[in-house]
Amino acid sequence: MCGIVGYIGGRAAAPILIEGLKRLEYRGYDSSGLAVYHSGIHIVKTAGRLSRLEEKAAQLPPGTAGIGHTRWATHGEPSDANSHPHTDCTGQFAVVHNGIIENYRELIADLKTRGHRFDSETDSEVVPHLLEELWTGDLAETVLKALPRLKGSYALAVMAGARPDELVAVRQDNPLVIGLGAGEYFIASDIPALLAHTRKVIILEDGQLARLTREGVAVLDRTGRAVDARVTEISWDAEAVEKGGYPHYMLKEIFEQPAALRNTLGRYMDRDGGISFPDCRLSPGDLAGIGKISIVACGTAYHAGLLGKHLFESVLRIPTENDLASEFRYRNPILGPDTLLIVISQSGETADTLAAMREGLRRGARVLAVTNVAGSTMAREAPNVIYTAAGPEIAVASTKAYTTQLAVLALLACHVAQALGREQEYFDELRRGLRQVPQLAEGVLAAVEPRVQELGRASTEWRNAFFIGRGLDWAVAQEGALKLKEISYIHAEAYSAGELKHGALALIEEGVPVIGLATQPELLEKTVSNIREAKARGAVVHAITQFPLLLADAADACIELPQLPAALMPLLAVIPTQLLAYYAAAARGLDVDKPRNLAKSVTVE
């Protein structure tokens, strides 16, 4: 999970590459490096943040072609030597790589028998040495000769000292886009890195190679035959990926939720409440034939999927299971033609979720992907797709992707209910509720932010926190606890409120903060009793609820929400928990958008 950039044109390459890397830092950020051509290849690289690379890059000669990389270590610790670009024994080739070369040990052993020397502990370094061995005088041809030797996944950008006016990029199971400017061309792992320069892009397919010169871009297939690649016009503008006046992307993205929800709902629901999904080809007959639904995802996307189980199983009575993608394939799940496998992923590149999707396809299940990124591997491989229209999510902690995933699942359940002719009244109410969500979310953001900011400041004293709730409140509790721990590094546990007394209550003592979610009317009485149990042991309880009067004497404080149908309450209830995580991290002076040890796009298993 790294970020790749490349540039060839008439301007100095290094500043453009560094700007591009800054936009990709979310993909990984423990080390970085650049190579530029100026009478030979010059490389600078360093462990640590991009600011260190920027200092070092000042020593580079001016060159108008180059490649760059920001890394999140998988093989070998973050160090200068393990940073990319890597080179061969002669320094003639520079290569940046995202992915994993699975057979790198065999390749290294083989290359060493012929005298190759390796400077790093990475799998990636085998690539420049292979190019050195296979060099034909033509860079694209040499790269194509090397590819059959590589097992695993890769996006590669390559330059050669002998071919100063050319860059080569190639992908297999890792994203890569080519930006088309006027007399200048770009390579990037993701679109945000290109938007300052162009909106015209070619999204490379697996096995395709792009050859970039100052005259243009040629796309070739594995056999070297020219391919007619489709040029896509990107509608996001560069400003959409800037912070827009907020101190952090995460806060900006939390506040973008009303707009993201409006866009997502507007895309699929017409004024009369009719719902259609243009990229989903499941007919009413297909939907009627579904005997079981499997919802598979990781992290926050998994938490969003829990709403799917509630709507499909508890309401529509279709047996539904939720799985973590990293577990799914290894438990030999029962999947067949009557299974609808729903995979959810903001990035559309998460390795475990992709693997689960491919397993479903292999076993003949009907597959539907919910993703935020058009052109992602998931979007391209899934036969049916519903996009969350959240816009680019840059902060590592997922916020607006989660709420738009919830909205898509609610829309999908309405659509399935229509197809099956079931529970019309319930889903009519849900549709009416969905229309209100963007405006209510706006209201919640404005109303709760000052209170939660204060709570965030007070949380500098916290060492542990509990998030408790029942039913869908438990789902939100899981998301709230994940957000708090990943951003603020406060240990947080999500507990089903009714389960507390079976063990975890022992951890509740004087002053322990408990966030009590109480938004599900049918479970309210029981949740309130569980909150009282915690309070009686000394917990300081902050309740998130639309029933403040009922919680008045059970909780120490209430964060009040407006009313919506119960199944939609997670869309509002999660907002105070997102803000709490944000303000707790900000109060501790932490790097909110880039929490330690984490990356935005997890492209390894």
Number of residues that bind ligand F6R (CB under 6 A): 14
Q: What minimum distance in Å lies between the beta carbon of 368 and ligand F6R?
A: 15
Torsion, Cα of 189, 97, 204, 170 (10° steps): 150
| Closest-CA residue to 472 (of 300, 295, 265, 311) | 311
Q: Does 527 bind ligand F6R (CB under 6 A)?
A: no
Residue 97 host element (H or E):
strand 93-101
- CA dihedral sign, ordered 503, 552, 464, 350: positive
List binders of ligand F6R among 386-415 (CB under 6 A). Answer: 397-398
φ/ψ bin of 83: left (φ > 0), alpha (ψ from -120 to 50), beta (otherwise): beta
Of all residues in the shown chain, the one whose CB is closest to ligand F6R is: 299
Binding mask 69-98 for ligand F6R (x = CB under 6 A): ------------------------------
Q: Does 264 bind ligand F6R (CB under 6 A)?
A: no
Which one, 472 or 482, has the nearer CB to ligand F6R?
482
List binders of ligand F6R among 477-496 (CB under 6 A). Answer: 482, 486
Which one, 153 or 520, has the nearer CB to ligand F6R?
153
Q: Does 602 bind ligand F6R (CB under 6 A)?
A: yes
**CB under 8 A, 24+ apart: contacts of 279-282:** 279/384, 279/385, 279/386, 279/387, 280/368, 280/384, 280/385, 280/386, 281/383, 281/384, 282/340, 282/366, 282/368, 282/384
List, as one string, the DSSP characters of 519-542. Answer: --GGGHHHHHHHHHHHHHTT-EEE
Q: What minimum distance in Å lies between the beta carbon of 486 and ligand F6R?
A: 6
Q: Does 346 bind ligand F6R (CB under 6 A)?
A: yes
Q: What minimum distance in Å lies between the beta carbon of 310 and ligand F6R?
A: 19
Q: What minimum distance in Å lies between the beta carbon of 141 and ligand F6R?
A: 35
Strand (E) positions, 334-424? 339-345, 366-371, 384-387
Q: Judge contact between 293 and 366, C-beta under 8 A.
A: no
Q: What minimum distance in Å lies between the beta carbon of 491 and ligand F6R?
A: 16
353, 527, 545, 577: which one binds ligand F6R (CB under 6 A): 353
Which one, 143 or 343, has the nearer CB to ligand F6R?
343
| Closest-CA residue to 16 (of 4, 24, 7, 25) | 7
Give Rg (Cα) of the chain. Answer: 25
* Strand pairing class (513-518; 41-47): unpaired
Q: Does 345 bind ligand F6R (CB under 6 A)?
A: yes
Which one, 93 or 255, has the nearer CB to ligand F6R?
255
Which position among 2, 280, 298, 558 bears the catalytic label?
2
Which one, 12 or 361, has the nearer CB to ligand F6R?
361
Q: Does 350 bind ligand F6R (CB under 6 A)?
A: yes
CA 207 remoteness from chain centre: 23
* Strand pairing class (65-71; 292-297): unpaired
Q: Does 3 bind ligand F6R (CB under 6 A)?
A: no
Using H for helix, E for strand and C for coil, what is the string for 400-456?
HHHHHHHHHHHHHHHHHHHHHCCCHHHHHHHHHHHHHHHHHHHHHHHHHHHHHHHHH
Q: Is 558 a catalytic residue?
A: no
Which one, 298 or 437, has the nearer CB to ligand F6R?
298
Q: Does 190 bind ligand F6R (CB under 6 A)?
A: no
Q: What minimum distance in Å lies between the beta carbon of 264 and ligand F6R?
A: 15
Q: What minimum distance in Å lies between the beta carbon of 367 and ligand F6R?
A: 15
Q: What minimum distance in Å lies between the beta carbon of 8 and ligand F6R?
A: 30
Report the alpha-carbon distance of residue 289 to residue 416 in Å, rounded: 11
Q: Does 377 bind ligand F6R (CB under 6 A)?
A: no
Q: Judge contact between 26 and 396, C-beta under 8 A.
A: yes
Where does 67-226 have alpha helices with state H?
A: 104-113, 126-134, 139-146
Q: What minimum distance in Å lies between the beta carbon of 517 and ligand F6R?
A: 18
124, 326, 347, 530: which one binds ligand F6R (CB under 6 A): 347
Report the alpha-carbon distance of residue 264 to residue 259 in Å, rounded: 9
List binders of ligand F6R among 278-307 (CB under 6 A). Answer: 298-301
Report the alpha-carbon distance of residue 497 to residue 471 in Å, rounded: 9
Q: Is 243 a catalytic residue?
A: no
φ/ψ bin of 529: left (φ > 0), alpha (ψ from -120 to 50), beta (otherwise): alpha
Catalytic residue numbers, as ranges: 2, 600
Chain residues binding ligand F6R by CB under 6 A are: 298-301, 345-347, 350, 353, 397-398, 482, 486, 602
